[in-house]
Amino acid sequence: MPEKSTLFRARVPERRLRNATKILNQLGLKPGDAFNILLAQIELRRGMPFDLTTEPKPMLTAEEQGAAWNKAFGAY
């Protein structure tokens, strides 16, 4: 038996939704799918799936990105 669902409504800036929808379409997702994924990650992690801070970390250099990739997935 499918789990009971609830309609959730939110106000978002029109431009933000339009831009995000274009990106989500490329991923084969609808905005509702993305929101459901976000809620699932919050539930699994018992918190936000990313850092919320007023002091973001600096961007990684290409070399740092490569090292992080190799550490996570192995060299290719």
Q: 76 in helix, strand or coil?
A: coil
pLDDT of 56 = 82
The 10s digit of each residue's pLDDT in 25-68 is: 999 999 999 999 999 999 999 999 988 889 888 889 999 999 99
pLDDT of 52 = 87
pLDDT of 35 = 96
pLDDT of 3 = 87
